[in-house]
Amino acid sequence: MRKPNLIYILADDMGYGDISALNEHCGFKTPNLDEMAENGVCFTDAHATAAVCTPSRYGILTGRYNWRSRLKSSVMGGYSEALIEKGRKTLADMLKENGYRTAMVGKWHLGMNFAKEEGFVEKPDFGVCDHVDYHGKIEGSPISNGFEYFYGISGSLDMPPYIYIENDHFTAQPDHVTKGTGKGFFREGPTAPGFVHEKVLDELTEKVLEKMEEYREEPFFLYFPMPAPHTPILPASQFCGKSGTNEYGDFVLHCDDVAGRIDRKLKELGLYENTIVIYTSDNGCSPMADYPELLSQGHNPSYVFRGTKADIYEGGHRIPLIVQWPDRVPEGRRCSRIVCLCDIMATMADILGISLDAETAVDSVSNLPLWLNPDEEEVRADLIHQSIDGSLSIRKGKFKLEMCPGSGGWSEPKPGEEPEGAPSFQLYDLSEDIGERKNVIEEYPEVVKELREILKAHIFRGRSTPGPAQHNDGAAVWETIRWVE
């Protein structure tokens, strides 16, 4: 039997509550994603490794917690150096070695090494960098990380430069400067001729459909990290006003349409039955969506969860996750077990019967038992999350220990603005308090001790799965965390 194809669609800043199949009070209908949910399994306790873009993507592609890399907090910019360490095997590497065609289309946001001239310095706040040779070869791009083809952008669509990259070269030279405001915000930056922010999502989708056609005769892996519904929030004209909420809701409908186009193309090519399609998001919804405006229209992108993108709270890292695979995955099922986006590497290895090297995918756990039987026992003993300021939390069963006094992100209480006398850490019983409002840290000292020891062990061993100890990269992670002694 032919190996299954894998299409991994990663929305950018899309909340759990933005899919109507997952949110009974959703302010609009997402018909294509709802159909995917009817044809597969929805995971209701799925998480990114972090509450922001770059670290989440690192976890997906390496099967390794992002805080083990040199990036201990925040995200990278459009001009940042490559983050994935040389020699580290990625999901694309593994599949390519096992007979897959591999392509990535969309937003990379893991750094790449542009050709530079003397005097180059990366600017703060993701600003425009001078002394870049836009003619030169790009090192450390997806092409260096297991993908035989890449077409997309280096960072988020609100980060310059605004030029498509194909494989390891820019496709054009910038000839003008653009910027956006309001919900359509993007930073001022050099822009290539014909690069129009409003058209990017559909142009990338067309490229995905082209690669599906090209690869149809062989097993393939298509990684499609969309630039939406992240800022700039610019839905195509046919979606404007359709959600009945605001521009963000309209942009979510645009993303839903993209998922439908990909599903229809699979059926047209006769590939639908033997293709795994995953739809998920890199983190929770951003406040740029205008929560007050959405809430006034009866829509909450975070569903019942506290917080937003960037936060240690569930709204930061609990994300929608739908797995569709008609040949193997049951239809219309829900799975309430704990899973993580970094699990895809171990899951695909399990499907293909691949043995992973000791240093590969050190935090990845196969979810295949849950794909095949959503009622199966838990596959994960625990799970670690990270907020934008680098704060960590650990989840085991119903308890979640957060190693910071506030959100660790953009919601109240923000880092440094916590109430005087607030406990240094937070413990929540999610079975009783899914909204994370009652800190029970004083009631369960034995749980705090257990979770803290597990967290420390996972940090010091360089892995959270069975196997030989590994090293963390960059500054030792325990030097950046106050509480490990």
Residues contacting 336, CB < 8 A, separation 6+:
44, 45
Give all domains of the chain, ordered by start, each with its CATH number.
5-372 (3.40.720.10), 383-480 (3.30.1120.10)
Q: What is the pLDDT of residue 485?
A: 44
> Which tens digit of pLDDT belongs to each residue from 60-116?
999 999 999 999 999 999 999 999 999 999 999 999 999 999 999 999 999 999 999
> H or E segment at 177?
strand 176-180
DSSP letter for 398, please: T
The pLDDT-based confidence of 199 (bands split at 50, 70, 90) is: very high
The Cα–Cα gap between 363 and 378 comes to: 16
Query: What mean pLDDT comes out for the span 409-434?
Result: 96
pLDDT at 475 over 70: no
Cα–Cα distances (Å) from 299 to 11, 66, 329, in that order, read 18, 31, 30
Query: What mean pLDDT comes out for the span 187-213?
Result: 98
pLDDT at 480 over 50: no
Query: What mean pLDDT comes out for the span 29-39?
Result: 98
Q: What is the pLDDT of residue 484?
A: 47
The Cα–Cα gap between 13 and 111 comes to: 19
At 353, which amino acid appears? G
Centre a 10 Å sphere on the Cβ of residue 45 and count the other Cβ atoms it contains. Answer: 19
The pLDDT-based confidence of 474 (bands split at 50, 70, 90) is: confident
Query: What mean pLDDT comes out for the span 288-303?
Result: 98
Say what angle helices 31-38 and 247-269 make with each other, to 10 degrees.
50
Centre a 10 Å sphere on the Cβ of residue 419 and count the other Cβ atoms it contains. Answer: 10
Query: What mean pLDDT comes out for the span 444-450?
Result: 98
Query: What mean pLDDT comes out for the span 261-281?
Result: 98
Half-sphere exposure of 76 (CA within 13 A, CB side): 25
Q: Of all residues in the chain, what percent carry a pLDDT higher than 70? A: 98
Q: What is the pLDDT of residue 471?
A: 95
pLDDT at 288 over 70: yes
End-to-end distance of the chain based on CA atoms, in angstroms? Answer: 53
Centre a 10 Å sphere on the Cβ of residue 471 and count the other Cβ atoms it contains. Answer: 10
Here the tokens at position 157 are: 């669509």
**In sequence order, what are the beta bridge partners of 43?**
335
Q: String of b and e for 433-457 (b: at least 16 CB within 10 Å)?
A: eeebeebebeeeeebbebbbebbbe
User: What is the chain's mean pLDDT, rounded?
Assistant: 96
The Cα–Cα gap between 229 and 200 comes to: 12
pLDDT at 151 over 80: yes
- Can you say whether the dihedral through the CA atoms of 345, 346, 352, 355 is positive or negative? positive
